[in-house]
Amino acid sequence: MRFSLTTWNINSVRLRIDLVAKFLEEMQPDVLCLQETKCPDDAFPLKRFKQLGYDHVVLNGQKGYHGVAIVSKLPFESSDIRVFCNNLDSRHISVSFGEKAGMAVPLIVHDFYVPAGGDVPDPDVNAKFAHKLSFLDEMKTCEPLHPRGDARHILVGDLNVAPHENDVWSHKQMLKIVSHTPIECEKLLAVQSEGNWIDVARERIPLSEKIYTWWSYRAADWAASNRGRRLDHIWVSSALKDSIRDFTVTSDARGWERPSDHVPVTTVLEL
C-alpha cells in the first residue's frame, strides 16, 4: 500500500486551521504530525479535521506553548506519550497502526518537538540550551527509539537542529548559532545512528544540496534573503529504507497568508 505522512510545525493550529485545510485538501497525506499546536486538548479544532476526512486524532497539548498532535485518515491501534527531562512540556506523542489500518505488519510513528534551546549556546549560562542537550541525550538512550530487525518505525518532527553543512544557508556563519552548533549536530546525529535511523531527506537529496524547512519571521523578505535551516525531519527505521518513494518540502507554504515559519515536509512510502 501507498502510505504518505507529513510533519509540520504549525505555530498555532487554531490560528492557521485554514492553511492546514488548504494543505490537506491538496496533498491528502494519510497522516499529519503537527508541532507547536499551542492549544489545550479541549480546544483542538477536531470538527475541521473530521470534515477533511481525518477522523482519527491523538493529542498532547498544553495551554500557550508547545503541543503535538497526530491526525490520520487511518485508524490507530494505540497511542503513547513519553516524558523527557522529567518535564511536563508537551513534546512527544506516538501511535501504532496495524490491522485496523489494513497493515499486517505494525507501523509505529513518533512525533517530536525538541526544545529550541534559547539564544546562548552555553549550557552553563542558558538553562534552555542545557534542556535541549539533555533532551537529545534522552532520545539517544530511549529504548522505544531503537527499532530492531524488521520493525517498521517512523520518527518525525521539529527536531530544532540542522545537522549538516547544507542544512543551513551558511555553515560558517551558523557555527555559534543555536540549531547548528557542533554539540547539537553531534547529539542529533548520535540519536540517529543509535537507532539506525535513515534520514529520508538525505536519502533522496545529496548532502551537497541545500535543503531548508524553516525561514525566520525576522527577515524583511524571507524568499529574497533565503536564510533557511532544515529543522524538520523524517526518519525511518532501516527496515523501511527501500520503501521510500518520495520526499517533498512544500516551500510554497512559507509564502501563504499569515504563514507558519516552518513548512510541511512529506514522505511517501510503499508498505
- The answer on whether 160 is annotated among ligand-binding residues is yes
Write out the H or E segment, with its range, that includes residue 194: helix 182-194
Whether residue 36 is annotated as binding a ligand: the answer is yes
Q: Is residue 268 within 8 Å of 3, Cβ to Cβ?
A: yes
Is residue 218 near DNA by the rule CB under 7 A?
Answer: yes
Out of 92, 131, 180, 262, the active site residue is 262
Regarding 38 and contact with DNA (CB under 7 A), the answer is: yes
Asked if residues 212 and 229 have their Cβ atoms less than 8 Å apart, the reply is yes
Q: Which is nearer to DNA, 118 or 123 (CB)?
A: 118
Mark out the alpha helices in 61-181 (DSSP H runs).
127-141, 171-174
Verify binding: residue 237, DNA, rule CB under 7 A. Answer: no
Q: Which is nearer to DNA, 12 or 251 (CB)?
A: 12
Q: Where in 84-123 is the site for DNA (CB under 7 A)?
A: 115-118
Instruction: Tell me if 262 is assigned to a ligand binding site.
Output: yes
Active site residue 92: no
What's the Cα-to-Cα distance from 170 to each of 52, 175, 251, rounded to whole Å? Answer: 39, 9, 19
Contacts of 98 (CB under 8 A, 6+ apart): 77, 106, 107
Q: According to CB under 7 A, which residues from 182 to 201 bind DNA?
A: none
**Which entry of 30, 110, 111, 113 is annotated as an active-site residue?**
113
* Whole-Å CA distances, 91 to 19, 159, 173: 22, 10, 29
From residue 53 to residue 72, the character string flagging contacts with DNA as x (rule: CB under 7 A) and all else as - is ----------xxxx------
Residue 111 annotated in ligand binding: no
30, 110, 153, 158: the catalytic one is 158
- Nearest CB to DNA, comparing residues 29 and 115: 115
Phi/psi at 72 (5° precision): -150, 145
Question: Which one of 86, 124, 172, 217 is in contact with DNA (CB under 7 A)?
Answer: 217
CA distance 77 to 216: 37
- One-letter identity of residue 28: Q
| C-beta of 11 vs 96, nearer to DNA | 11
Asked if residue 258 binds DNA (CB under 7 A), the reply is yes
Instruction: Show binding-site residues for Mg(2+).
Output: 9, 36, 158, 160, 261-262
Q: Which active-site residues does the annotation give? A: 113, 158, 262
